[in-house]
Amino acid sequence: MNENRLKDKKLQGKKIMALSGGVGGAKLALGLSKVLPAEQLTIVANTADDFEHLGVHISPDLDTVMYTLAGLNNTELGWGLAGESWAFMAALERLGGETWFRLGDQDMATHIQRSKLLKEGCSLSAVTAELCKGLGIEHSIIPMSDDPVRTFVKTAEGELAFQHYFVREQCRPEVSGFRFEGIEQAQPSPQFLSLLKDPELAAVVICPSNPFVSVEPILALAGVKELLEARAVPVVAVSPIVKGLAIKGPAAKMMAELALPSTALAVAQYYNKTLDGFVIDSQDAQMAQQIAELGVKVEVVNTVMKTLQDRVELADAVLDFVATLTHIPNNVLGEG
């Protein structure tokens, strides 16, 4: 089935790069992994919301994508591992430790092992490959960078480290902007950079993740936007905003606070220069014309992913869309 679908899409043998944040992005990444073989899909995860906590290095977006592709994600909580237990947290609480960031017993193994390997001198890329191997994941999941980038959220209550804003303060403070500490020095990870330059790269899919804190740090890394423009492979984003609401997370709230309309159109405007195609939900069909006027091709489908079937169908639709984008030279998309 995969092979036929890929043939249909003229993408056979070509590579797709997906850019993802956490939960929302991971849903589409999972869908893509179901329709693309391992050698054709690379998922680049945001690491700007990584942080050091309780002495371990936590990479929330990498973990969410890994757990999701491994089929181990906790669907009840919406984050973390399925069948998670909390004995560590309870014991830490007894000791008066910090418990605002919930770390499950199994999840701790990921952080401890990652931190150990990083301390031994492994790059975050190498560590991630090792963890993916342990979790039986065949597709490539890579960090956007092996260098530290840390998002700080400018709020009415002062600047907050991302997880302090996101988890500890539960996104309550009013947002006025963002700062990506280390972004000037950070290099794209070697695999990310090499894929950006790979003649086999056929498209970049921006998953429905938060544009400001999940996708922007990836695009803001040295040379990334330039390479995307120079390559002329289509960049297609899926709107994380549907009917004015974020499917997951604080994107819509942030947009309101940043004095942006919380609409798919505003997301398209935000991505504008980077974007060739934009996938919006059927419920936002009336915006298609306005978005098209930005010079961006628009695809209108169901983007709300409740079931695995939804994820696969959206992945399918996105790849169909990619294959139809007219400015892509045939020699890039192959002969089919």
Residues in contact with a second copy by CB under 8 A are: 54-56, 81, 84-85, 87-92, 94-97, 104-110, 112-113, 115-116, 119, 130-131, 133-135
Residue closer to a second copy, measured from CB, 95 or 259: 95
Classified as helix, coil or strand, 137 is coil
Q: Distance between terminal CA atoms of the chain?
A: 15
Specify the DSSP class assigned to residue 278: E
3-state helix, strand, coil in the chain (%, to 5): 45, 20, 35
Give one DSSP letter per residue of 186-216, joined into a string: PPBPHHHHHHHT-TTEEEEEE-SS-IIIIIH
Residue recorded with tokens 């990479």 = 59
Measured in whole angstroms, the distance separating CA 98 from the mean position of its chain's CA atoms is: 28
94 or 158: CB nearest a second copy? 94
Query: Would you state the torsion angle of the CA atoms of residues 219, 223, 228, 231, taken in this order, to the nearest 10 degrees?
Result: -170
We find the least distance from the C-beta atom of residue 54 to a second copy, in angstroms, to be 5
CA 334, CA 286: separation in Å to the nearest integer? 34
Is the CB of 100 or the CB of 232 nearer to a second copy? 100
For residue 92, the minimal CB distance to a second copy (Å) is 4
Report the nearest approach of a second copy to the CB of residue 127 (Å).
10
CB of 57 to a second copy, least distance (A): 9
Tokens at residue 169, please? 């303060």
Indicate the residue among 115 and 187 with the shorter CB distance to a second copy: 115
Sequence-separated (6 or more) residues with CB below 8 Å from residue 305: 27, 28, 31, 247, 311, 314
In angstroms, what is the minimal distance from the CB of 145 to a second copy? Answer: 22
Largest Cα–Cα separation, the chain:
63
Nearer to a second copy, 87 or 259 (CB): 87
Q: What minimum distance in Å lies between the beta carbon of 148 and a second copy?
A: 17
Which of 105/174 has CB closer to a second copy?
105
Smallest gap, in angstroms, from Cβ of residue 152 to a second copy? Answer: 21
Q: And the tokens for 131?
A: 């963890």
* Complex with a second copy: residue 28 or 81, whichever CB lies closer: 81
